[in-house]
Structure 1
Amino acid sequence: MSAATLARGAIVAAFGAFALAGGTSAWSQTRSSCLERTSSGLQGSDFVAAAARQSPAVVSVTVAGTGNDWVANSDQRAPTQWGRGVERGFASGFIFRRDGYILTSAHAVTGAQAISIVTEDQRRFDAEVIGIDRRTDVALLRVAASDLPVVTVGRSSELCPGEWVAAMGAPFGFERSVTAGVVSANPRYVPGGSGVPLIQTDVVLNPGNSGGPLFDERGRVVGMNSMAYSPGGGYSGMSFSLPIDTAMHIADELRITGRVMRGHIGARIQPLTVELAPAFGLDTALGALVVRVDPDSPAEQAGLRSGDVVLAVDGTAAMPYADIQDRVAGARKGSLLALKVWRHRTPLTMQVGVAEIPPDLAPRLAARALPRETRFGLELSERKGVLGISLLDPGLFVQSASGSAQRAGLRYGDMLIAVNDVQVAGLVDFDAAIQSIKESDTVALLVMRGSTRSYVPILPRGPQRAPVARGAGDATARTP
Structure 2
Amino acid sequence: MKAATLVRGAVAAAVGLLALGGGASALSQTRACMDRAASAPRSQSTDFVAATARQSPAVVSIAISGAGNEWAGADNLQPWGRRAQGAGRGFASGFIFHRDGYILTSAHAVTGAQAISVAISDQRRFDAELVGIDRRTDVALLRIAASNLPVVALGRSSELCPGEWVAAMGAPFGFEHSVTAGVVSAHPRYMPGGNGVPLIQTDVALNPGNSGGPLLDERGNVVGMNSMIYSASGGYSGVSFSLPIDTAMRVADELRATGKVTRGHIGARTQALTPDLAPAFGLDAALGALVVRVDADSPAEMAGLRSGDVVLAVGEAAPMSYVEIQDRVASAGQGSRLSLRVWRNRALLTVQVGVAQSAPDIVPKLAARSNAREVRFGLELLERKGVLGISLQDPGLYVQAASGSAQRAGLRYGDAVIAVNDVRVARLADFDAAIQSIPRSDAVALLVMRGTNRSYIPIPPRTAKDAALAP
> Does the pair score TM above 0.5?
yes
Q: Aligned pair 1:230/2:231, yes or no? A: yes
- After superposition, the C-alpha distances for 1:234-264 in whole angstroms (9 at most, x for unaligned) are 1111000000000000000001111101001
Counterpart of 1:282?
A: 283
Q: Aligned pair 1:242/2:243, yes or no? A: yes
Name which one, 1 or 2, has greater alpha-carbon Rg: 2
Distance 1:317 1:97, change over 3 A: closer
Q: Within 1, Cα distance between the matches of 2:59 and 2:397?
A: 38
Counterpart of 1:32?
A: 31
Deviation at 1:390, TM superposition (A): 1.8
Structure 1's unaligned 5+ residue stretches are 1-25, 81-86, 468-480
Distance 1:252 1:194, change over 3 A: same
Counterpart of 2:18?
A: none
Give the CA RMSD over aligned residues. Answer: 2.0
Counterpart of 1:41?
A: 41
Distance 1:76 1:440, change over 3 A: farther
Counterpart of 1:51?
A: 52
Distance 1:227 1:70, change over 3 A: closer
Distance 1:44 1:352, change over 3 A: farther
> Identity of paired residues, percent?
73
* Residues 418-433 of structure 1 mapped to structure 2, 5 A cutoff: 418-433=419-434
Deviation at 1:275, TM superposition (A): 2.3
Q: Aligned pair 1:163/2:170, yes or no? A: no
Deviation at 1:432, TM superposition (A): 0.8
Q: Within 2, Cα distance between the matches of 1:176 and 1:314?
A: 47
Q: What residue identity is the alignment partner of 1:427?
A: L
Distance 1:292 1:28, change over 3 A: farther
Q: Within 1, Cα distance between the matches of 2:384 and 2:371?
A: 28
Q: Within 2, Cα distance between the matches of 1:425 and 1:93?
A: 39
Deviation at 1:76, TM superposition (A): 3.0
Contact 1:369 1:463 in 2 (8 A): no
Counterpart of 2:255?
A: 254
Distance 1:234 1:411, change over 3 A: same
Contact 1:168 1:209 in 2 (8 A): yes
- After superposition, the C-alpha distances for 1:305-329 in whole angstroms (9 at most, x for unaligned) are 1111100111264311111011100
Q: What residue identity is the alignment partner of 1:36?
A: D
Q: Within 2, Cα distance between the matches of 1:233 and 1:371?
A: 41
Q: Within 1, Cα distance between the matches of 2:293 and 2:313?
A: 18
Deviation at 1:27, TM superposition (A): 9.3
* Residues 334-413 of structure 1 mapped to structure 2, 5 A cutoff: 334-413=335-414
Q: What residue identity is the alignment partner of 1:56?
A: P
Q: Within 1, Cα distance between the matches of 2:206 and 2:268?
A: 33
Indicate the larger mover: 223-232 or 361-370: 361-370
Q: What residue identity is the alignment partner of 1:398?
A: V
How many residues of Structure 1 are paired with residues of Structure 2 in the alignment? 436
Normalised by the length of structure 1, the TM-score is 0.87
Q: Within 2, Cα distance between the matches of 1:255 and 1:425?
A: 50
Q: Within 1, Cα distance between the matches of 2:59 and 2:314?
A: 40
Q: Within 2, Cα distance between the matches of 1:162 and 1:274?
A: 24
Q: What residue identity is the alignment partner of 1:31?
A: T
Q: What residue identity is the alignment partner of 1:345?
A: R
- After superposition, the C-alpha distances for 1:375-415 in whole angstroms (9 at most, x for unaligned) are 11111111121111122221111111222112222111110
Deviation at 1:217, TM superposition (A): 1.1
Q: Within 2, Cα distance between the matches of 1:164 and 1:215?
A: 9
Q: Aligned pair 1:448/2:449, yes or no? A: yes
Q: What residue identity is the alignment partner of 2:172?
A: P
Contact 2:314 2:325 in 1 (8 A): yes
Deviation at 1:280, TM superposition (A): 1.3
Contact 2:67 2:89 in 1 (8 A): no
Q: Within 2, Cα distance between the matches of 1:321 and 1:122?
A: 45
Q: What residue identity is the alignment partner of 1:32?
A: R
Deviation at 1:197, TM superposition (A): 0.7
Contact 1:226 1:240 in 2 (8 A): yes
Structure 2's unaligned 5+ residue stretches are 1-24, 73-77
Deviation at 1:44, TM superposition (A): 4.5
* Residues 461-472 of structure 1 mapped to structure 2, 5 A cutoff: 461-462=462-463, 464-465=465-466
Counterpart of 1:471?
A: none
Q: What residue identity is the alignment partner of 1:333?
A: Q
Contact 2:85 2:173 in 1 (8 A): no
Which structure dedicates a bigger proportion of its chain to helix? 2
Q: What residue identity is the alignment partner of 1:33?
A: A
